[in-house]
Homo-oligomer: A and B are copies of this chain.
C-alpha cells in the first residue's frame, strides 16, 4: 500500500492531463496486481478520464460544461445565491457535482489498465490560477 499527493498548477478553466505522473507512481510502487484510486481534494475542480488523442475533444468538453452552467453573471443564472467568490465559483461547484471526485483503476502486470485512448485529467472549473492536490493511493 502506497500513497502520495501530487500538485497540479492550473491557469484557468480546462483539462490538465496527469496520466504520466500516475504511471510513474504505479511504476515506483512496484505493485503488480492491485487497485489505484485517484481522489481530488477540492470542490471546484474534478477528475475526468477522456480521450487524449484529439485536443479538440478537451476543448469541446469545456465548451459544453460552460454552456450548460454559464458564469453566474449570465442572465440565465439569476437564481444563484452563492456569489461572493465571483461569477465562476458557484458554476465550478456545479460542474464538480456533474463529474467525478474519485476514480478507481485496476492495476495488472504493474500497469494501470487504462484503455488505449484514455487519459487522466484534472478538470479545472475556476478562472484564476490554482494549485490543486490529487491523492494517489495504490493497494
Contact = CB atoms under 8 A, between A and B. Distances in A.
Copy total for this chain: 3
Contacts of A102: 103-105
Nearest to A79: B63
A68 to B, nearest CB: 8
B49 A106 contact: no
A34 interface: yes
A51 B61 contact: no
Interface centre among A81, A114, A117 (most CB of B within 10 A): A81
Interface residues of A, number: 55
Given A39-B106, A43-B117, A60 B97 contact: no
Nearest to A66: B79
A30 interface: no
Contact of A94 (B37, B61, B94): B61
Given A41-B115, A56-B82, 7 more contacts: A34-B139, A43-B49, A43-B118, A48-B97, A50-B93, A57-B93, A102-B103
25 contacts: A3-B33, A3-B108, A35-B35, A35-B37, A35-B137, A39-B104, A39-B106, A39-B113, A42-B117, A43-B57, A48-B97, A49-B101, A57-B82, A57-B90, A59-B82, A60-B80, A60-B81, A60-B90, A63-B80, A64-B69, A64-B97, A104-B104, A106-B137, A115-B133, A139-B139
